[in-house]
C-alpha cells in the first residue's frame, strides 16, 4: 500500500510556513488585503499567499523573460512574477474582467512594474491563439476557468520554448478530483490531469501545494 507523508496543515503550521517564506512586500500585502476586504465573495480566486513567492522563485530559477498568465483576477500573481522579471521582461496576462483587473493595474503601477505587464481583457483563448506560433514562452501560470484548461494547454504547449515551464493551479480541486462521479470543474480538472500525464511533449509533476500545483517542463 502506498504510504503518504502528507502533514495536515493546521492554522499554526500554516503561519509557520508563511513565516519561513519570503514575506509579501507592502504593495503585495496591500493588494491581497484589499481583494479580501472589497471582494469577499470571490476572494477565493486569489492564489494562496505562499504561491506568490513560489512564482517569483520559479521566474528567477528559469531565467524567464517572456511569461504568459491565464487568469489575472486582481493581479497578485502577475505582480509577484513581474517583480521577479528582468527590466526588459514581459508578462502577458489574460482576463475578461475590467473590474477585477483594475486592482492589479493600480498595484503594478505602485510597484513600478506596469511597463512589464501587458494586460489583455478578452477571452483567453482568443489572446493565446493570436500569439506568435513559434516557441517563445519561458513560463506560464494557468489559473483560470477550469473547463478550458485542456484547451489553454493545447494552445500553450507548442509555444513553449524547450525547458519552458507551465505552472497550473487548482489541480487537486479541494480533493474532489478523486471523485469519479464529480461533474463541472472537478471533472474538468480530472480530465486535465489525465491529459497532462499522457502528454509526451512535457515532463510533469503534480504537487500538494495549496490546492494542488502541477509543474510541467517542455521537453
In the chain, % helix, strand, coil (3-state, to 5) comes to 45, 20, 35
**Displacement of CA 113 from its chain's centroid (Å):** 18
Query: What span, in angstroms and rounded, lies between the C-alpha atoms of 152 and 140?
Result: 11
CATH architecture of 11-218: 3-Layer(aba) Sandwich (3.40)
pLDDT of residue 99: 97
Residues pairing with 140 in the sheet = 68, 166
Q: Please state the domain extents for the chain.
A: 11-218
pLDDT digits (tens, 9 = 90+) for 65-95: 999 999 999 999 999 999 999 999 999 999 9
**Coil, strand or helix: which one is 10?**
coil
> How far is residue 70's CA from residue 175's CA, in Å, rounded to a whole number?
22
User: Left, alpha or beta for 196 (phi > 0: left; psi -120 to 50: alpha)?
Assistant: alpha
pLDDT of 1 over the 70 cut: no
Q: Per-residue pLDDT tens for 154-164? A: 999 999 999 99
State the Rg of the chain over Cα.
17
Amino acid at each position: 500500500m502506498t504510504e503518504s507523508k502528507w502533514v495536515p496543515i493546521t492554522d499554526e503550521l500554516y503561519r509557520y510556513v508563511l513565516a519561513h517564506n519570503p514575506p509579501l512586500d507592502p504593495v503585495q500585502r496591500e493588494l491581497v488585503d484589499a481583494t479580501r476586504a472589497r471582494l469577499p465573495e470571490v476572494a477565493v480566486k486569489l492564489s494562496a499567499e505562499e504561491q506568490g513567492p513560489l512564482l517569483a522563485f520559479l521566474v528567477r530559477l528559469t531565467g524567464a523573460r517572456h511569461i504568459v498568465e491565464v487568469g489575472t483576477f486582481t493581479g497578485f500573481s502577475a505582480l509577484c512574477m513581474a517583480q521577479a522579471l528582468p527590466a526588459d521582461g514581459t508578462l502577458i496576462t489574460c482576463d475578461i474582467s475590467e473590474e477585477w483587473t483594475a486592482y492589479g493595474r493600480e498595484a503594478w503601477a505602485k510597484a513600478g512594474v506596469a511597463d512589464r505587464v501587458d494586460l489583455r481583457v478578452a477571452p483567453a483563448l482568443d489572446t493565446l491563439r493570436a500569439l506568435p506560433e513559434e516557441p517563445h514562452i519561458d513560463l506560464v501560470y494557468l489559473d483560470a476557468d477550469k473547463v478550458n484548461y485542456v484547451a489553454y494547454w493545447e494552445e500553450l504547449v507548442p509555444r513553449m520554448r524547450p525547458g519552458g515551464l507551465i505552472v497550473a493551479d487548482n489541480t487537486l480541486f479541494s480533493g474532489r478530483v478523486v471523485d469519479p462521479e464529480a461533474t463541472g470543474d472537478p471533472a474538468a480538472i480530472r480530465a486535465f490531469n489525465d491529459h497532462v500525464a499522457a502528454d509526451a511533449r512535457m515532463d510533469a509533476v503534480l504537487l500538494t501545494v495549496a490546492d494542488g500545483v502541477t509543474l510541467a517542463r517542455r521537453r
